[in-house]
Amino acid sequence: MQKGQIRVQTENIFPIIKKFLYSDHEIFLRELVSNAVDACQKLKTLSSIGEAKGELGELRIDVVLDPKEKTLSIIDKGVGMTAEEVDKYINQVAFSGAEEFVNKYKDANIIGHFGLGFYSAFMVSSKVDIYTKSFRDASGVYWSCDGSPEFELYETDYQNRGTKIVLHVNEESEEFLEASRVRGILERFCRFLPIPIYFSVAGEEKKEDEAEKAINNTNPLWVRKPSELTKEDYEQFYRELYPFGETPLFWIHLNVDYPFNLTGILYFPKIKQSYEIQKDKIQLYCNQVFVTDEVKDIVPEFLMLLHGVIDSPDIPLNVSRSYLQGDPNVKKINSHITKKVADKLEEIFRNERNSFEEKWESLGLFVKYGMMTDDKFLEKANKFLVMEDTDGKFHTLEEYKTATEATQKNKEGKQVILYTTNPVQQDAYVQACKSKGYVVVKMETLVDAAFINTMEMKWEQVAFVRVDADIADNLIDKQESQDTVLNKEESEKLKELFTLQISDLHVTTEVKGLSPDTAPVIATRPEFMRRMKDMAGVGGGMTAFYAQMPDEVTLTVNGNHPIYQALLKERDSDLQQKQVRNLADLALLSQGLLKGNDLTNFINRSVELMQGETAKV
C-alpha cells in the first residue's frame, strides 16, 4: 500500500488559469507585485532572526515596461530562489511557497496564500522568463515557459539577489504595453504596499532635476498607532483617498488583534442632501494589497455610506481574491465595526454634544438607518438619537418624553411625537400646534417615513402623528365637537355647502367651533391612510393597492370664523358657491392637493372674485 500527496501538474493548471481562475486579466500585475513584496518581507524576517546574513541593501520593487520589446518586468531584491526552490514553487503548483513560509514563520507579514498568483502571468503572456538568485550561497537560476507543459530550468550567471520576472506580452493583451494602463493598475492595487514600488519605461530619459518617486505610500495611516497621529494626518489621508471630497466629519481608527486581525480607518463624510449618497466608498485590503471596494458582507449595510479602508488578513477570499467566502470571522468583524461606530457616536454625543448636533444633518442618516436595520445598534443609538424641533432645539427620545409628558399623551397612554415633513409648507399646522404648547420635530429626510414606521414598532408606547393629520385640537386626543356661534340650522347649511365633489379626492366635511382667529377651513389627511399612500408610492409591495385609492381629506370648517356671518347671508347662490369652493381650495392648496385643472380653476375663480369686489368699490 502506497500513500502520498496528489500534485496538480502544470498541464492541468494552465487552462484553468487562462480561462477560469481570474475573471479580470489586469489582476496579474497585483499578483506578481504582491509576490515580489512577499519576497522582500521574507528577507526582512529572516534577517531579523539571523538566518539571512549581511546587509539587506535597498529593498525595492521595479516594474519596467519595454514597449519596443513588448515586455513587462517585475524585479525585486528579496530572498530569491535556488534551482530546487524554483522546481518546488514554480513547477509543482500545488505547493504554495507563501503558505509553507507562513506555517514556519508565524509572525511574517505575507500576502499570498494560494501559490497560484505567479501563474496569472500567463493570462497576458506568450512566454514568461524568471531570473533569480537566492540570498543563500547558490548560483543564479533561469526558468522559462511558453504556457505549455514544457519548461526550461538551468543555472545562469544572474548576479542580483532577488527575482526578475519578464513577461512577453501576447497580442491579445497589448493594452498592458501602455504606460498609463500599467501605472493605473499599480496605483489602484499597489498604492499602499509596504515595499517601495518604482515604475519606469525603458528608453525614457528623466530630467536631471526629476527625483525618482515611488508610486506607493509604504506606511499608510491605518498601520500606524492612533496615538502618533494628528487631526491633520487623518484629514490629509482622507484627501489622499478621495482627492475631491470635502473634509470628513470625524473618523474611527480600527485596530484589533483578537479574536481576529483588523485595522483600518472609517470616515463619516458630509451628506447634506440625500441624493448625494454614494455607496461602495470603503476599500478592502489584505495586508495592504487592494482587494475590492465591495464590502457589503464585512461592513453593516447601514455603514456602507462611510468612506475609508479596512485591512484584514483574516477575511476569507477566494483564490482570485475577487469575492468573500462565508466564514464566522466575517460576521464577527461586521459586529465589531457596528460596536465601534456606536461607541464613537455615543462618545462624541456625551463629550461634544454641540458639535454632534451641528453634524446631525449628515449623521442622522447613518443613525436612523442603523436603528432600523440593526437591533444591537438600536440599543446604543437610543441614547444619542436626537430630533430637532421647529425652533432648532435638539431632543433625545427621553428628553422629548420628559418635555411633553403632561401635554402629549393620547387616550391609549402613548407618548405622541408630533412631526412635520415640510416646515415651510406645513407652517400653518406647525403654528397651530405650537400655540397649544406642543413640541413639533422635523422629519424631512428620505429615510424618515420608514424610520417612523419602524420605530413605532420598536419603541414602546410611542406614536408619531404628523401636524396636518387633524386639526390641532384633535391631534393628541380626539375631542368632542366644540360649540360654534352658529345655530344648528346654520351649521348644517355650512356643512351642506362644503360637501364637495373634488377629483381624485375622497372628502369628508365637518363643522367645528375653533378659535375665531383659526383659518376658516383646514384640510387634514388621516395619518394611517397618508402613510400607506406614501409607502405605496415608494415601495409598492403589500401597500401597492393604496396607490390606486383616492387621497382621503377631511375639511374642518371653523364655524366660529367671522367670514361665515357674511357668507351665509349671501343671496347670490352662484357667488356663494364660488366663495365656498375658494375657501376649500385654499385649504387643499396648503396640503399640496390642488393640482392640474382644479388649480387652474382656482386661479381663474380668484381673479373673478377680486374683479367683483373691485367693481363694488
**Residue 325 backbone zone (phi > 0: left; psi -120 to 50: alpha; other: beta):** beta
Residue with cell 466629519: 249
Q: How many helices (H) and strands (E) does the chain have?
A: 18, 20
**Residue 138 backbone zone (phi > 0: left; psi -120 to 50: alpha; other: beta):** beta
> How would you label 232-253 residue by residue, b for 16+ Cβ within 10 Å and e otherwise?
eebeebbeebeeeeeebbbbbb
> What is the rounded distance in angstroms from the CA atom of residue 496 to the CA atom of residue 514?
19
43 contacts 138 by C-beta, under 8 angstroms: no
557 contacts 493 by C-beta, under 8 angstroms: no
Cell numbers describing residue 69: 520589446
Predicted local distance difference test score (pLDDT) of residue 596: 86
Predicted local distance difference test score (pLDDT) of residue 130: 95
User: What domains can be seen in the chain, in order of their start residue?
Assistant: 10-201 (3.30.565.10), 221-357 (3.30.230.80), 386-479 (3.40.50.11260), 481-617 (1.20.120.790)
> In the sheet where 415-420 sits, what is the strand order?
440-442, 415-420, 462-466
Q: ∠ CA(259), CA(262), CA(268), 5° rounding?
A: 130
**Whole-number mean pLDDT of the chain?**
84
Predicted local distance difference test score (pLDDT) of residue 319: 45
> What is the rounded distance in angstroms from the CA atom of residue 465 to the CA atom of residue 419?
6
CB atoms within 10 A of CB 168: 17
Predicted local distance difference test score (pLDDT) of residue 56: 87
Residue ranges of the chain whose pLDDT lies below 50 = 1-8, 10-11, 20, 94-96, 110, 113-114, 275, 319-320
Phi, psi of 234 (to 5 degrees): -65, -40
345 contacts 381 by C-beta, under 8 angstroms: yes
Predicted local distance difference test score (pLDDT) of residue 614: 67
Q: Which of 92, 169, 98, 94 is nearest to 129 (CA)?
A: 169
β-strand partners of 462: 415
Q: What is the pLDDT of residues 408-467, one digit of tens each?
A: 988 888 999 999 999 998 998 999 999 989 999 999 988 898 899 999 999 989 999 999
- Amino acid present at 404: T
Predicted local distance difference test score (pLDDT) of residue 5: 38
Interacting residues of 335 by C-beta distance below 8 A, sequence separation 6+: 376
